[in-house]
């Protein structure tokens, strides 16, 4: 199944002399239970692609779909709802609330949305996160790697159709980064989640099943990563 799909997606910023074509007819599919890395030089359109697919940025042309929902033309209210219910985000800065413990942070988006988490799913996510007795600790009492695990678990908790990550290990040292990336990949395997991760770190991309390369707003390569299994 296809979790998200861009078709001839075009994004233009500015006009006249300031015009920048950030995405130039990009077509790409993100399949369910697949972990995709998006790579490319700075300014190649990686963040723009992610923002357009996640409904954070409007598109100039073409189509962006999450599952079978077309994002172009959705009003702000429906977009907000779609992001909340069907998309998970993992950022470079973990964005955890300092006054809540790990478990409360994991549950927070659903609490805000007034959604009751699927108890069995939540148990599996919490089991996967591997924080054991640290679930009652606040972020300041956790290492950077542990905090990012909490942020990943928070993104997984609502069973989103797709999770977007923007350099999720950019602020971690290499050991903590490897731990989070391994955890993310195993979560995709065990829970069947779909992850799209923007990165310019080849080590991070090494954990992905597939790598999509952008250059100048176009897809220039799209390849399976046969060694994803052997990393760690």
Q: Please report whether residue 20 would count as binding ligand ADP according to CB under 6 A.
A: yes
Beta bridge partner(s), residue 64 = 6
Nearest to 211 by CA among 35, 36, 30: 36
Q: Write the DSSP assignment of 181-225 as a string of letters.
A: HHHHHHHHHHH---EEEE-S-HHHHTTSSEEEEEETTEEEEEEE-
Nearest to 105 by CA among 142, 135, 144: 135
Which residues in the 121-140 window bind ligand ADP by CB under 6 A? none
Beta bridge partner(s), residue 222 = 212
Q: Tell the burial category of 227 from Cβ atoms under 10 Å away from its Cβ (0-12, 13-18, 19+).
A: exposed
Rule CB under 6 A: choose which of 48, 101, 147, 199 binds ligand ADP. Answer: 48
Rule CB under 6 A: choose which of 3, 4, 6, 22 binds ligand ADP. Answer: 22
C-alpha distances in angstroms, 80 versus 59, 87, 113, 157?
A: 16, 10, 11, 18
Rule CB under 6 A: choose which of 30, 45, 107, 210 binds ligand ADP. Answer: 45
Q: Are strands 35-39 and 210-215 parallel, antiparallel or unpaired?
A: parallel
Stretch that binds ligand ADP, among 39-47, 110-118, 172-180, 218-226 (CB under 6 A): 39-47
Q: Please report whether residue 46 would count as binding ligand ADP according to CB under 6 A.
A: yes
Instruction: State in angstroms the smallest separation of the CB of 169 from ligand ADP.
Output: 13
Q: Please report whether residue 204 would count as binding ligand ADP according to CB under 6 A.
A: no
Instruction: With beta carbons less than 8 A apart as the criterion, state whether 193 and 32 touch.
Output: no
Q: Please report whether residue 55 would count as binding ligand ADP according to CB under 6 A.
A: no
Q: In the Cβ-directed half-sphere of 5, how many Cα atoms lie within 13 Å? A: 11
Q: Please report whether residue 14 would count as binding ligand ADP according to CB under 6 A.
A: yes
Q: Please report whether residue 215 would count as binding ligand ADP according to CB under 6 A.
A: no
Q: Please report whether residue 44 would count as binding ligand ADP according to CB under 6 A.
A: yes
Q: Please report whether residue 42 would count as binding ligand ADP according to CB under 6 A.
A: yes
Stretch that binds ligand ADP, among 46-54, 67-75, 110-118, 139-147 (CB under 6 A): 46-54
Q: Please report whether residue 15 would count as binding ligand ADP according to CB under 6 A.
A: no
Compute how many other C-beta atoms are within 10 angstroms of the C-beta atom of residue 147. 25
Q: Please report whether residue 54 would count as binding ligand ADP according to CB under 6 A.
A: no
Instruction: State in angstroms the smallest separation of the CB of 9 from ligand ADP.
Output: 12
Give the interface with ligand ADP as residue ranges (CB under 6 A): 13-14, 20, 22, 40, 42-48
């Amino acid at each position: 199944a296809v979790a998200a799909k861009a078709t001839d997606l075009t994004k233009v910023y500015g006009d006249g002399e300031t015009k920048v074509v950030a995405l130039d007819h990009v077509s790409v599919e993100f399949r369910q239970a697949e972990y995709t890395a998006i790579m490319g030089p700075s300014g190649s359109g990686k963040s723009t692609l992610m923002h357009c697919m996640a409904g954070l940025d409007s598109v100039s042309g073409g189509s962006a779909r999450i599952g079978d929902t077309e994002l172009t033309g959705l009003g702000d209210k429906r977009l907000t709802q779609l992001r909340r219910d069907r998309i998970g985000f993992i950022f470079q800065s973990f964005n955890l609330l300092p006054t809540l413990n790990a478990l409360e942070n994991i549950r927070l988006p659903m609490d805000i949305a007034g959604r009751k988490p699927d108890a069995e799913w939540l148990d599996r996510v919490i089991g996967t996160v591997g924080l054991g007795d640290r679930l009652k600790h606040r972020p300041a009492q956790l290492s950077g790697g542990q905090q990012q695990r909490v942020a990943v678990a928070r993104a997984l908790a609502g069973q989103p159709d797709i999770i977007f990550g923007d350099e999720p290990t950019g602020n971690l040292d290499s050991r903590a980064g490897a731990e989070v990336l391994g955890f993310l990949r195993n979560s995709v395997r065990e829970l069947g989640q779909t992850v799209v991760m923007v990165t310019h770190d080849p080590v991070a991309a090494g954990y992905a099943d597939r790598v999509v390369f952008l250059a100048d707003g176009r897809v220039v390569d799209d390849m399976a990563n046969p060694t994803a299994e052997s990393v760690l």
